[in-house]
Amino acid sequence: MSRTGHKRPLDDADPGHTLPVRRTITARLAILTASVALSLLVVPAETPAQPRAGQRQPIRAASPLLYYEANPSQVIETFALMREANSGSSAAMHELGYRYLLGRGIAADTAKAAEWILRAAERGMALAEHNAGILYTHALGVAWNPFEAFQWFRKAAEKDQPAALYIYGLLHTDGLLIKPNWGRAWSLVAEAASKGYEPAREMLVEFRRLGIDTLRLNARALADTTRGLFYLQFGQASNPTVSDTMLARELAREVPETGDAGMTASPRQGSDASELDWIVQLGERGVPEAHVVLGRIYEKGIGVTKDLVRAAAHYQRANRLDSPRAPALLAEISHSDAFVRELTERTLSDDRDARYVWASLAANGFDERIGIPQAKKMLEENIASSPPHGNSLLELGMWYATGRHVKQDPALAVALWEKADRAGVREGKTRTLLALLALDRGAASTSVPFIRSEADSGSVLAQAALAFCLEQGIGMPASQPEAASMYRKAAQRGSQMAYLNLRRMYDAVRPSAEEFRIE
């Protein structure tokens, strides 16, 4: 996806709008994402297993992954259950597998759990087929394999198992397993919703909000085979307006409800000024949604003095963190006559923020009035000043890390990010630690706890870094399912690094069958 691509119209879709400077907007908003999040799966209580004698009351199991039907009036001894399973009862096989998984009445053994659940699935039990998909998704007793999971979810969906219909539908949207198919995704999720599955009903609401429904799906959207993991991908069907409330909701969704020990304010305490400071702290940690909201606040002067250059600086920081919103917002503001005048005047007066913004716009193709040599000179002058300009250190570090516009020099990139950290830009420390770990020069014992803390605070960069540590077993046991889940979480927010790593993990186990070819 081009970082300077299509523009998206911006407006005030909500009369009397306020952004997260107002606490009523930044309160936590519970919404579902329009993408697959397999680590959060639940299975419907209304879906019965094969019936046995006695009255059945469905209950939620202790495990968040599997659904279990227990009979309070009947206790099946383990040896009797094993005998029943060995005699060929699919229901007994499934229950025995469940008991092995949780260690209920028997020593926990994920390998045996998977063996029995898969045996029940192979006999065509829909619930077991669904749970077989869960096993392969989370590597419970089997090797992680999303393609095996996909095929089991499909089998269960073909038997109208509501949860499987829902999951199978969402798997048509991410562009990792198969080519995206919005129409198929909609119909499967709608079918699950028609069977009373509440997560599917909620997802249909989210689909409609993002412009995906049977009335507005068009040929271009249906035929699109580009990656579909990001929110803007959904928006291509109808190009919905980006409202202030939408941006506030996206920030609220991605950050913790309250600040941690490293934060001085949370969205529910203090004045409007302290709340603005809380959003600034989130931005400094590497939360792109915070920079987008701050950009809109300063672009429109909502509760603050209007400052177009500062707005563009926040949009640029969000862009560097791969925010799907940032390119359109940067394109919009950079084409404003008022912004061009303000940027030019402040640059000529040696305003460091203005020089950083102009250099960054030029480097990313948003402004052609200056060339790359002049942009580089502006950034170098900013970092040579006292104190050095933190955002310019981050930007120039990215140039040397990627080899874009300059000769690639990872060591110099790390040095610039370390300097940004010392200048008070917390994102600089995250970038430094990730680079050192990738270069096998970092100390996992001190780096990983910091990265995990930042990831928990909403830093998309730290989420991608934590996924890398989980995949490689750096500072913690290696876990492909957890790594894939964390990569996915960051990729859904726009991280290209996370997406490429997730795609690499999928490609490593991709079957040769035609349906799984997505190029």
Query: Using CA atoms, how far apart are residues 359 and 396, in angstroms rounded to an integer?
Result: 10
Q: What is the pLDDT of residue 289?
A: 95
Sign of the CA dihedral 254, 286, 208, 16? positive
* Residue 5, domain member (yes or no): no
Mean pLDDT across 13-21: 35
Domain, as residue range, for 159: 38-55+62-228
Spatial contact of 73 and 96, defined as CB atoms under 8 Å apart: no
Q: What SS3 string covers 77-116?
A: CHHHHHHHHHCCCHHHHHHHHHHHHHCCCCCCCHHHHHHH
pLDDT of 117 over the 80 cut: yes
Decide: residue 187, CB within 10 A, 0-12 exposed, 13-18 middle, 19+ buried.
middle
Contacts of 201 (CB under 8 A, 6+ apart): 193
Residue 343, domain member (yes or no):
no
Of residues 508 and 266, the one with the higher pLDDT is 508
pLDDT over 90 (residue 177): yes
Instruction: Please provide the average confidence, as pLDDT, over all residues in the chain.
Output: 80
Q: Out of 89-98, 258-267, 414-423, 495-504, which region has the weakest mean confidence (pLDDT)?
A: 258-267
Q: What six digits make up the tokens of 332?
A: 């919009």
CATH label of the domain that carries residue 170: 1.25.40.10
d(CA 508, CA 484): 12
Mention every residue, 6+ apart, whose C-beta is less than 8 A from residue 160. Answer: 126, 191, 195
pLDDT at 455: 95
Tokens for 311, please give them.
């707005």
Residue where one domain finishes, among candidates 228, 253, 288: 228
As a whole-number percent, the residues of the chain with pLDDT over 70 amount to 76
* Residue 224 predicted with pLDDT over 50: no
Confidence of residue 241 (pLDDT cuts 50, 70, 90): low
What stretches of 216-371 adopt beta strand conformation (E)? none
Q: What is the mean pLDDT of residues 279-293?
A: 93
Structural domain contains residue 249: no
Top pLDDT among 2 and 420 is at: 420
Q: How large is the average pLDDT for residues 266-279? A: 66
pLDDT in tens, 371-389: 999 999 999 999 999 999 9
Assigned domain for 143 exists: yes
Neighbours of 24 (CB within 10 A): 8
User: Does the pLDDT at position 221 exceed 70?
Assistant: no
Token pair listed for 187? 């119909």
Domain finish residue from 206, 228, 250: 228
Say if residue 332's pLDDT is above 70.
Answer: yes
Q: Pull the structure tokens for residue 181.
A: 């198919």
User: What is the model's pLDDT at position 378?
Assistant: 97
Our measurement of the distance from residue 420's CA atom to the centroid of its chain's CA atoms, rounded to an integer in Å, reads 26
Question: Residue 69: helix, strand or coil by DSSP?
Answer: strand
Closest of 440, 449, 517, 428 to residue 472, by C-alpha: 440
Of the chain, the end-to-end C-alpha distance in Å amounts to: 15
- Look at residue 209 and tell me if it is in a domain: yes
- Span 1-8, average pLDDT: 37
Which of 228, 248, 274 marks a domain boundary?
228
Confidence at residue 105, expressed as pLDDT on a 0 to 100 scale: 79
Top pLDDT among 41 and 438 is at 438
pLDDT at residue number 247: 85
Task: Give the confidence band of 10 by pLDDT, cuts at 50, 70, 90.
Answer: very low
**Alpha carbon distance 482, 488 (integer Å):** 10
Q: State if pTM tops 0.85.
A: no
Report d(CA 134, CA 325) in Å as an integer: 32
- Flag the least confident range among 242-246, 267-271, 452-456: 267-271
DSSP 41: -
pLDDT at 109 over 90: yes
Residue 411 in domain: no
Assigned domain for 346 exists = no
* Share of residues in the chain with pLDDT > 90 (%): 64
pLDDT above 70: residue 267: no
**Whether the Cβ atoms of residue 458 and residue 287 lie closer than 8 Å to each other:** yes
Q: What is the pLDDT of residues 48-89, one digit of tens each?
A: 333 333 333 333 344 445 555 444 333 456 788 899 999 999
What is the count of structural domains for the chain? Answer: 2
pLDDT at 122 over 50: yes
Instruction: Give 433-458 pLDDT, tens digit per residue.
Output: 999 998 888 788 889 999 999 999 99
- The answer, yes or no, to whether residue 159 has pLDDT greater than 80, is yes
Higher pLDDT, 150 or 438: 150
Position 46 scores a pLDDT of 34
- Helices first, then strands: H and E counts in the chain: 26, 2
- Tell me whether residue 291 is in a domain: no
